[in-house]
Structure 1
């Protein structure tokens, strides 16, 4: 790949749950009404917090004296909210929300998409529907499958509870050694076992940090 490359991104998976523990506890027994879950979700929106989510966001702030420090943050693209003290708090809250997605951007440098893979909850007509991984903007979706037995709600959680994808500027040349080091540092920081460099156009894996260990 040479010393400098274009169109190479980073993709990392983490096993730790990024969801606010209050939500995990709330749905533990799946014993709530539509009004109760709606009220609860409203109460934690932009107030959620999970230490794993906070740790991920802090990496972008602190890595190598702030070279990744975001300018903007949001839950949709393009990110528009300034990443100031309030932006940091919101970023952690968004990433800690069930089934949510956080966007971090540094102008002309990169866009990072961080995803919480925990299940969200869907309701319809007062009935609680099957647990399903969703984004917050889909909270109103109606499905036809309603809970009729406990077995329906005891599906396993994903093996990896969070995804981190970093997209770099399409025409920006980046030192490949820097990318490998960033990938290694981030994975070590998170103590995870999945991290790759990928082609941003074809999504082909170009380098697997843990390939030799598999």
Structure 2
């Protein structure tokens, strides 16, 4: 078997091992291998999400450090398609759990926060990831809309994510409810995003 093109079964096995007892005992190695496996697994892989959840529960500091490094590397190596795929896959898997979401929303570093916003934007512009990414944003909304401690933080992040006009069609898919009504939460995101875009245009013209 070609080591550069492992079978789906082998990728799944690696993910399960890294998210189990061995991974918890050897988090640095496990995260390195999970990062690579994320580039092979489908966006939205349940196995990958479960593995990241287990490591986040038991080794949050190591997961936070690895995430920061992956996001930073992706920012500085824009032309590396493999790194981009691995990082976006790992990022999406991480935010698919409550524990991973908490790790993301509790980030205090302005640089890491910016990298998180950029990762979301890249996911929303990736054809085979966009549906899973939008589903996750809907889950964030449902989870935190009525949470006074998280709602404002979430709105702030979402406004940054949707500031570029190129992402408005993605936001449109979130705004309309199943009853064809416009959801006020996403309307607020749109208003904030539009205000930030206008402010950035005015600043750039000075």
Q: TM-score, normalised by structure 2?
A: 0.30
Structure showing the higher helix proportion among its residues: 2
Q: Give the number of the structure whose alpha-carbon radius of gyration is greater.
A: 1
* Bigger RCO (CA 8 Å, 6+ sep): 1
